Amino acid sequence: MQQKVKKFNDNKKVHTVPVPVYARLLNIQSEVGELTKEYLKNLKYGTKPFQLKDEFKLEFGDVLYCLFSLANELEIDSKECLNQALKKYQARIDKKQTMGSN
């Protein structure tokens, strides 16, 4: 997926390359906010159970796009990072029976 985003961005010269890291981070934060907003709207702000809808999936895709764009900008291997995170979580589960850091 990361390479798909890289290819897309390389073929679409709609912004300065490289994009400053702070701009990528702010964009990620903005998209997570939009994902959260879709979740709240879907729940009718806590009055109904969540039902997965296309609007939520689209916002989720936006978050992924932004994360992969940042990874490409910084030459981070997202697959390697995910594998490291899974190892970290597994070690926590094995040691403390929880994924949390505390």
pLDDT tens-digit series, residues 53-101? 999 999 999 999 999 999 999 999 999 999 999 999 999 999 999 998 8
Tokens of 12: 């679409």
pLDDT in the model for residue 56: 98
Write down the pTM of the prediction. Answer: 0.89
How many angstroms from the chain centroid is the CA of residue 82? 12
What pLDDT is stored for residue 12 in this prediction? 82
Q: How far apart are the C-alpha atoms of 2 and 6, rounded to whole Å? A: 6
* Per-residue pLDDT, 18: 80
Q: How far apart are CA 17 and CA 8, in angstroms?
A: 13
25-34 as b/e: b if 16+ CB within 10 A: eebbeebbeb
Structural domains of the chain, ranges and CATH numbers in brackets: 2-77 (1.10.287.1080)
- Percent of the chain with pLDDT strictly greater than 70: 99
